[in-house]
Structure 1
Amino acid sequence: MFSIVIPLFNKKKFFCRALDSVFEQRFKEFEVIVVDDGSTDGGGDLVEEQYKERVKLIRQDNQGVSLARNKGIQVAKFAYIAFLDADDYWHPDYLGFVAMVIEENPNVGIIGCHYDSFQLEKKPRLTYFRLENYFKEAVHNTRFFTSATCVKKEFFENQPGFDSNLKLGEDIDVWLRASLFFGDGIYIENTLVYYSQEDSLRATGKFYPLDQTLIPKVLNKNYYMNSIADSTCSPKTFIKFQSKWVYLNLYQHYLSNDTRIEEVLSRIPRRYFLIHLIYSMPVRVLKAVFSSNRLSTLFRIYMKFCFRYVYS
């Protein structure tokens, strides 16, 4: 039922924990595909020696996490792709709960699950809900997280997979496009996935140029039309999502002296005056403002307030 795709690059320290959590699943209808993306710490050898035929191991030169995931998807044989990062791990009921959701909702194309960096539930009882009007909620919370998301393989057979040009947001890109393709997904409320913050090399702790992030791509005029299929999300709703989501994420790039900020601002399809007014201030002023953690946090709170209560 599930093809589990795990990219591996220099995560030997954590990897057995991740793989053991897969083999401890109570639901057993799955295959495990590990794509060793040019590891130099012996992680691929560890998989080969310790897990042998239980894992389909693919070795390749280092090409990045997106191409590693895409390679695993290409060889997957089951109808649903479950993703797991090498330093995260699952509760023993994770796949079983996802399988129950699919059995009760056979047309669902994307399923997410609550995750935590501290503690998983001890004796969970399945609770979930449909993400109705997803693109209204996704402005504030895109919900899906790589190690806690399953996607129907049909999506990857009809749409591009993970975008290797993106160094940040390549996963969110897939969740957004899959939600446009299939329609609203389902979210499991149980905490069944451990999200590791132990690795200091995680991509989320780095700064990348704007053109290597999802922001310019999601503003592309064809983004919606190239992805929409069964979703009931209207063009108007998606334009609102594009604009609000970019406003909420753009301020962080002022710290990197990115020259494309003004060009990105000019492409936002719907202007929200109370937000755009602040973004229209001189770059040097905004850089000083956003270099303060306190002020940047206050600005994000201000934007969220405006989007919830003024521009809802």
Structure 2
Amino acid sequence: MGSLISVVIPLYDKERHIARAIDSVLAQGHRDFELIVVDDGSRDGGAAVVQAYADPRVRLERQPNGGVSVARNRGVALSRAPLIAFLDADDAWEPDFLQNVAALAERHPGAVAVAMNYEIVAPSGARSLGVDPARAPSQLLDPLAYFRIGKHGSPVFSSSVAVRRDALLAAGGFPEGVRLGEDIDTWLRLLFQGPIVFDARPGGMYFNDATNRALNTHAPPARYVFFDTIDRWLAQHPGRADERREAEEFKNFFRLLHAHHQIRWGDAAVGRQLLRETRTETFRREKLRLSVLSLVPRACYVALSRLKHAVRS
């Protein structure tokens, strides 16, 4: 297919990784694209790495630091194509990603976005799928399907998704000033407009060796902005018991994440209180595990968490 696709990469202090991301775009089988890299006030040499590319399709835009949503929205405003693919500066694409999302977007003209599965790449090089295809085969996502899948692994990932420009603008773009969960909030607002295509084949790669990840530099909040987005949609659609139940379990995943952070790095008593307030069937065992671990000395908890991570890697 030869239709133009806009590619937007927000860049902030990713000098070590940005070339990997750009190279994966330039290696695409679909050649008709524009690549807009928005440097969000980086303090390192990442912008110089971008400027070194002679390919006329690569374009660098600079702005004062405003956050990843401001950078993505700037890229959207500068884009020329009706389909916009996003890639984080420390991730990469499979060579057929743009070809696949272009074909899927043409096949499903009523879909607001196309999302492909992704691989999580450990520092050792080991790979695992972000979404288990046995649990989530290729499908058109509606809110119920998204919540059911998302409580085990988000089916829409910011480095393996392409969005229809008009739908994204109608949804209000990315929420500015939000440090964590801004991408999930955006995918949900899009999803509440129309279906999202999910393809279980991997299209993107999330690298665990990346530095300056938002999840590593900011504590998870007690309440994400997308909780309010979900609650507003449910209030507008009364009587959807299945969606309400699955949405609560989806939110419970993030509540337990916050409890884990409090137990490990913050106030264990706050973590235990959050666990007591969380009503869950899906994460019953994880809630019990965290409750027990919250009672052991913090040094032991940290050591056990590191051991679990090492075994998984």
Instruction: Please say if 1:138 is aligned against 2:143.
Output: no
What's the CA shift for 1:200? Answer: 3.3
Instruction: Please say if 1:57 is aligned against 2:60.
Output: yes
1:149/1:274 Cα in 2 relative to 1: closer, same or farther (>3 Å)? closer
Q: Which moved more, 1:239-248 or 1:130-139?
A: 130-139
What's the CA shift for 1:272? Answer: 5.5
Structure 1 stretches lacking a partner, 5+ long = 122-126, 297-312
Structure-1 separation of matches of 2:211 and 2:193: 34
Structure-2 separation of matches of 1:85 and 1:62: 16
SS at 1:12's partner residue?
coil
Structure-1 separation of matches of 2:8 and 2:239: 32
Structure-2 separation of matches of 1:8 and 1:139: 29
Instruction: Please say if 1:288 is aligned against 2:295.
Output: yes
SS at 1:288's partner residue?
coil
Structure 1 segment 107-126 matched on structure 2, within 5 A: 107-116=110-119, 117=121, 118=126
Structure-2 separation of matches of 1:209 and 1:197: 18
What's the CA shift for 1:48? Answer: 2.2
Letter in 2 for 1:31: E
Q: Are the aligned partners of 1:93 and 1:192 in contact in 2 as well (CA < 8 Å)? A: yes
1:16/1:243 Cα in 2 relative to 1: closer, same or farther (>3 Å)? same
SS at 1:177's partner residue?
helix
Tell me which residue corresponds to 1:177. 189
SS at 1:53's partner residue?
coil
Structure-2 separation of matches of 1:289 and 1:182: 47
What's the CA shift for 1:13? Answer: 1.6
Letter in 2 for 1:142: S
Tell me which residue corresponds to 1:77. 80
Tell me which residue corresponds to 1:95. 98
Structure-1 separation of matches of 2:48 and 2:139: 41
Q: Are the aligned partners of 1:33 and 1:56 in contact in 2 as well (CA < 8 Å)? A: yes
Q: Are the aligned partners of 2:252 and 2:280 in contact in 1 as well (CA < 8 Å)? A: no
The alignment's TM-score, normalised by the length of structure 1, stands at 0.74
Structure 2 stretches lacking a partner, 5+ long = 130-136, 306-313
Letter in 1 for 2:179: K
1:52/1:206 Cα in 2 relative to 1: closer, same or farther (>3 Å)? same
Letter in 1 for 2:246: F
What's the CA shift for 1:234? Answer: 6.7
Letter in 1 for 2:213: R
Tell me which residue corresponds to 1:303. none
What's the CA shift for 1:290? Answer: 11
Tell me which residue corresponds to 1:302. none
Structure-2 separation of matches of 1:273 and 1:89: 35
Structure-1 separation of matches of 2:100 and 2:180: 29
Tell me which residue corresponds to 1:129. 139
SS at 1:174's partner residue?
helix
Structure-2 separation of matches of 1:209 and 1:192: 27
Q: Are the aligned partners of 2:8 and 2:86 in contact in 1 as well (CA < 8 Å)? A: yes
Instruction: Please say if 1:160 is aligned against 2:172.
Output: yes
Q: 1:221-265 CA distances to partner (integer Å, 9 max, x unpaired)?
A: 424568x8xxxx974343223321222221232313497997999
Letter in 1 for 2:107: E
Structure-2 separation of matches of 1:2 and 1:145: 18
Q: Are the aligned partners of 1:10 and 1:43 in contact in 2 as well (CA < 8 Å)? A: yes
Q: Which moved more, 1:33-42 or 1:101-110?
A: 101-110
Q: 1:23-45 CA distances to partner (integer Å, 9 max, x unpaired)?
A: 12111222111100011212212
Aligned residues: 278
Instruction: Please say if 1:222 is aligned against 2:227.
Output: no
1:202/1:103 Cα in 2 relative to 1: closer, same or farther (>3 Å)? same
Instruction: Please say if 1:186 is aligned against 2:189.
Output: no
Q: Are the aligned partners of 1:289 and 1:295 in contact in 2 as well (CA < 8 Å)? A: no
Structure-2 separation of matches of 1:87 and 1:164: 21
SS at 2:88's partner residue?
coil
Structure-1 separation of matches of 2:66 and 2:275: 28
SS at 1:146's partner residue?
coil
Structure-2 separation of matches of 1:24 and 1:36: 22
Q: Are the aligned partners of 1:215 and 1:246 in contact in 2 as well (CA < 8 Å)? A: no
Q: How big is the alpha-carbon RMSD for the aligned residues of Structure 1 and Structure 2?
A: 3.8
What's the CA shift for 1:205? Answer: 2.7
Match of 2:254 among 225, 249, 253: 249
Structure-2 separation of matches of 1:65 and 1:235: 33
